[in-house]
Structure 1
Amino acid sequence: MNRSLTQKEAEPKKPLVAALEKAEAKAQDRETDELDALEEEFVSTVSLDSTDGSSEKSESIKLIDAEEQLYPSPLEPIQAPAVGEQAVLAGGMTLDQLEAIALENNPAIQELAATTQKAAGFREQVTTRPNPTVGYQAQQLADRGTDQHLAYVEREFVTGNKLELNNRVLNATLAAQLQELEAQRFRVRTDIQIRFYQALALQRQLDLIREFSEVAEKGVDFAQQRMEAGEGTRVDILQSKILLNEVQLTQRQTQARLAAVWREIAALSGVPEMEYSRLEGTLPSESGIVDWEGLASNIVTSSPEYAAAHDRISRAYAALERQEVQPIPNMTAQLGAGVDYGTNSGMLNLQIGVPLPISNKNLGNIDAANAEICRAQMEAQRIKNSIEERLAVVSKEYDTATAAIDLYSNDILPSAKESLDLANQAYQAGEVGFVQILLARKTFFDTNLKYVDAQAQLAGAQSKIDGFVLTGGLNSVRDDSGDSSLRDQTFSQQ
């Protein structure tokens, strides 16, 4: 980049400009050793350049101190430091640690754990046999000498295997709630993983932004030096400042996003007061081809959400069988023993009774149980379709992220790096200005940020796949733990 410095003699000359003009005048008739001495005199601001395509040597003086800081040769790609190494030094938090905290403290998980305990309690209750009734009976108390006194015990005997069928209904209910609990664990784990990789990506982007921010600040300083030396213009300074302001804005926005993601992590973990700690981990840089149809089938069959739906179908069938035996009457037996003072002899009484299923044959409950089977089957089908629909959305995220990572790593990033190298060479040759090389580096910087975004998107999609496309770690949970009404129905017979 050969330039000559000219100033009107009438204008007051700044010290640096005057020194440069003096050096240029002396450069024409001095030997190499004199030029070296001049270079040392202006080592902080000037340098020598002597190349020409026609093999004719020409010498000119230019500013390079800030230039060398901005554009080292060869120019290295902007890369974030190894996140894992920094995290270890800073006592960073790993994904496994965050998951452990969330699984232990997430309120939705604890709520569903309580529903399983409720279901277990109801299951125990509906299988208990009735308490016997004991009593005392006296007759003819007004007729002294003929009064009768009787102590008795009464008990209802369950028929139709109703208690065992009660157990089957509530056992299926408990199984469904246990699957819901497992599904909730996957929801929380998936949400934590997604936010973890989002935060990890933002951390890496902040590393890139801080590095380029230093470059942009030096660019402003260099533009001001060139302006003072008569080499640059006010436009160069303004462009440099605009570029620096854009980087600073990106930094502030990224910091705000990172703070928000961390608050999400803290809320999902059930520890809202948890302080931020630099995360330790790596983002994916490659992925394979996925058979989405086969994966959909595997997720549906393995999903705890779908398993819970099938447990509810089993419960519906057990409930139908239970309602069908409800009309079979229980038998109530009473056995009493006493004394008859009229005859001075003992007494034994035996009483047996059953309700007659004439008016109430439980037909309404049987119809409702049949309808519940249909509803539970359609619910399972809905969940299956929902899983496939959610997986379709994830497949779009996964495939677009995979395509972006492949294109960035194989084409865009290498091209941006090559473009930056060529721009750097052109700048050294004086073919482009410093603003152009700064913008070329900004392009490479933006490309790296987009590459990190694609990595975070791929990591999030993979987390959803691993978690059976279950998300919503703080959504309201399903309390389908049942109740003890079957026991009341067992012994009411009406």
Structure 2
Amino acid sequence: MRIALMFTLLLVGRGAYAVDVLDAYALALRHDPAFQAALQQHEAGLQERRIGLANLLPNLSYAYQTARNRADVTAPTSTGGGSVHRNYTSSVGALTLQQPLFDYAAWAQYRQGVARAALAGEQFRGRGQALVVRVFAAYSQALLAGEQIDLARAQRRAYAEQLQMNRHTFEAGEGTRTDILETQARFELAQAQELEAGDALDGALRELQAMTGAPVSLEQLAPLAEPFTVPSLQPARFEAWRDLAMQANAELAGQRHGLEVAEQEVERQRAGHLPTLKLYASARRTRSETENTYGQEYDTGSLGLQVSVPLFAGGGVLAAQRKASASYAQANYEYDAQRNTLLNDLRKQFNLCTSAVAKVRAYGFAAEAAQALVEATRQSVAGGERVNLDVLDAQQQRYSARRDLAEARYGYLNAWLQLKYLAGHLDEADLVAVARFFQRGQ
């Protein structure tokens, strides 16, 4: 609720773009089905501690029973015996209080409840951080697909102009049919790339709509601002990020609480060999409870101790303990596997972030150089130094450089959020920082 309120305040006064990154996240907080399911799972998980604690607290119960009875009573008498027919109502009311004094299984179950509640908290924290990553991934994928559509259209227009020029020169007897076929092939390829980017855009917008609960178009999204400058990564050493992840990664922390749950399950099953001790207190009121007490009423109070000692249960207790021990060992191995996967993913995202500065700079220079190359190649063709295929290759190189530049920019932002997420330190402030890379409404 705190996050939703903050983002609601951020939405006030926005201008040109209907849905920027912060808007999309604020909508997803209220509408994303996966996050709403995680919210309910968290609420359910928080009750585990209370459920476990209940086994250690007093248990108070009241039972009442009433019945209509018919009895034929035959009793010996001095004259040889007689029979009595009785129709009567009997009743029994009992108020019982039990307080565990020693119950190792209940104590282990309480520890399990505490661990399960902590596990639910970590899982919800992880789902909240994952929502930031998912929203931005869909948002940036839609923008990237939009840029690719624009690039493919520009490329197609350039090929169309080149194709028209090839036909004119061919009709004038200066060109060849091969020039026309080469340009026509590039034109068709650009059209296919435009269709492919359109499909990617549709998929990203649908995914974003599923999370935000509102229809979204490309025109409503805020594009990247210029100039795009990649800041240096802080902290700069991978070891620092590794330490952060080992301490704060939500999924890994949840696994540790899962280990505690499995360990306490072993203890709970081991308690099947141990005695239990309870304090017992009751108050009973009976009326004609049995034939021997017909017509009599009793108020009885009892206070005492109840000891239960397990002796033999067919080997079930030992089997359950072995099963719990195997599950605990399985949880340990799964924790090790999750830790290794985390460190590999963390290293991958760290490398992407550290190389982003050089990649964005290199692709920016490549895009500028490719534009100049197209102009120079066209002039060389006019002077007879180059051929039509050289122009097509230069145009394709320009398209590829601009496409790679766009992918590098969005890739850096996604990698930075992923890195923060894997380190367990991703929050709304990080999304606000990412939002500064995009154009803002006036």
Asked if TM exceeds 0.5, the reply is yes
Which amino acid in the other structure matches residue 100 of structure 2? V
C-alpha separation between the residues in 1 aligned to 2:206 and 2:299? 79
| 2:117 corresponds to 1:194 | no
Between structures 1 and 2, the one with greater strand share? 2
Pair 1:250–1:375, CA change in 2 (3 A): closer
Is the 1:331–1:352 contact (alpha carbons within 8 Å) kept by the matching residues of 2?
A: yes
C-alpha distance after superposition, 1:427-467 (max 9, x if no partner): 56554456644542332223222332333333332232122
Which 10-residue stretch deviates more, 113-122 or 381-390? 113-122
Q: Secondary structure of the residue that 1:200 maps to in structure 2?
A: helix
Pick from 234, 245, 252 the counterpart of residue 299 of structure 1: 245
Q: Cα distance, 1:386 vs. partner?
A: 2.0
Query: Is 1:408 equivalent to 2:363 in the alignment?
Result: yes
Cα distance in 1, alignment partners of residues 343 and 310 from structure 2: 50
Query: Structure 2 vs 1, CA of residues 332 and 213 (structure 1 numbering), >3 Å: closer, same or farther?
Result: same
Percent identical: 16
Does the alignment pair 1:282 with 2:224?
Answer: yes
Q: What is the alpha-carbon distance in structure 2 between the residues aligned to residue 116 and residue 200 of structure 1?
A: 33
Q: Does 1:243 align with 2:169?
A: no
The change in CA–CA distance for 1:202 and 1:469 in structure 2 (over 3 A counts) is: farther
Three-state SS of the structure 2 residue aligned to 1:173 is helix
Which string of whole-angstrom CA distances, capped at 9 and with x for unpartnered residues, describes residues 241-279 of structure 1? 333222222212221222223233334x174x7343332
Q: Distance in 1 between matches of 2:44 and 2:91?
A: 45
- Of 232, 239, 255, 1:309 maps to 255
Give the structure with higher Rg (CA): 1
Q: How far does residue 181 in structure 1 lie from its aligned partner after superposition? A: 1.5
1:174 corresponds to which residue? Answer: 117
Aligned length: 376
Q: Distance in 1 between matches of 2:179 and 2:352?
A: 41
Q: Shift in Å at residue 234 of structure 1?
A: 3.5
Counterparts in 2 of 1:76-475, with a 5 A limit? 89=16, 91-128=17-54, 129-133=58-62, 153-160=95-102, 166-267=109-210, 269=211, 271=213, 274-278=215-219, 279-282=221-224, 286=230, 288=232, 290-316=236-262, 327-336=275-284, 350=302, 352-359=304-311, 374-395=329-350, 397-398=352-353, 404-410=359-365, 412-427=366-381, 429=383, 431-432=385-386, 436-437=390-391, 439-468=393-422
The alpha-carbon distance between structure 1 residues 285 and 252, as it changes in their structure 2 partners (threshold 3 A), is farther
Q: CA, structure 1 residues 375+425, in 2 after alignment: closer, same or farther (shift >3 Å)?
A: same
Distance 1:259 1:246 in 2: 20
Q: Say if 1:112 and 1:177, in contact at 8 Å, map to a contact too.
A: no
Aligned to 1:480: none
Q: Shift in Å at residue 167 of structure 1?
A: 4.1
C-alpha displacement of 1:305: 0.9
| TM-score using structure 2 length | 0.68
Aligned amino acid, residue 38 of structure 2: L
CA RMSD of aligned residues (A): 4.2
- The 2-side partners of 1:230 and 1:101 are apart by 62
Matched residue, 2:7: none
AA matched with 1:100: A
State the alpha-carbon separation in 1 of the partners of residues 411 and 92 from structure 2: 82
Q: Do the aligned partners of residues 98 and 308 (structure 1) sit closer, same or farther apart at CA in structure 2, a change above 3 Å counting?
A: same
Instruction: Give the Å deviation of 1:137.
Output: 11
Q: CA deviation at 1:306?
A: 1.4
Cα drift, residue 388 of structure 1: 1.0
Offset at 1:320?
5.9
Give structure 2 stretches of 5+ with no counterpart. 1-13, 76-83, 85-89, 425-442
SS at structure 2 position matched to 1:120:
helix
SS at match of 2:276: coil
Other structure's SS at 2:308 match: coil
In 1: Cα distance, 2:198 partner to 2:339 partner: 39
State the distance in 2 between where 1:415 and 1:467 align.
36
Task: Give the residue type in structure 2 aligned to 1:356.
Answer: S
CA distance in 2, matches of 1:439, 1:187: 41
8 Å CA contact 1:398, 1:462 repeated in 2? yes
> How far did residue 381 of structure 1 move?
2.8
Provide, for residues 352-406 of structure 1, a one-character-per-residue CA deviation record: whole Å limited to 9, x for no partner.
3513315169777666666665554444333222211222443565567665434
Cα deviation, residue 177, structure 1 = 0.9
Change beyond 3 A, Cα 1:441–1:394: same
Would the aligned equivalents of 2:51 and 2:113 in 1 still touch at CA under 8 Å?
no
- The 1-side partners of 2:375 and 2:345 are apart by 44
Asked whether the 8 Å contact 1:223–1:236 carries over to 2, the reply is yes
Query: Structure 1 stretches of 5 or more lacking a match?
Result: 1-86, 471-494
Question: Letter of the aligned partner of 1:214 in structure 2?
Answer: R
Structure 2 CA distance for partners of 1:420 and 1:160, relative to 1, 3 Å = same
Cα deviation for residue 230 of structure 1 reads 4.4
Query: What is the rounded CA distance, in whole Å, between the counterparts of 2:22 and 2:420 in structure 1?
Result: 15
Does structure 2 retain, via aligned residues, the 8 Å contact 1:95–1:193?
Answer: yes
Contact kept? 2:380, 2:386, Cα under 8 Å: yes
Give me the whole-angstrom Cα distance separating, in 1, the residues matched to 2:64 and 2:305.
17
Listed one character per residue, the Cα deviations across residues 471-493 of structure 1 (whole Å, up to 9, x for unaligned) are xxxxxxxxxxxxxxxxxxxxxxx
Bigger drift between 244-253 and 430-439 goes to 430-439
For residues 127 and 421 of structure 1, do their structure 2 counterparts lie closer, same or farther at Cα, with a shift above 3 Å needed? Answer: same
SS of equivalent residue, structure 1 residue 280: coil
Q: What is the aligned partner in structure 2 of residue 7 from structure 1? A: none
Q: Is the 8 A contact 2:242 2:346 kept in 1?
A: yes
Deviation at 1:329, TM superposition (A): 1.7
Taking structure 1 as reference, are residues 352 and 420 closer, same or farther at Cα in structure 2, changes over 3 Å only?
same
- More helix by proportion, 1 or 2? 2
Conserved? CA contact 2:159–2:186, under 8 Å? yes
TM-score normalized by the length of structure 1: 0.62
Change (3 A) 1:264 1:469: farther
Whole-Å Cα distance in 2 between the matches of residues 381 and 258 of structure 1?
A: 38
Change (3 A) 1:99 1:227: same
> Does the CA contact (< 8 Å) of 1:286 and 1:406 recur in 2?
no
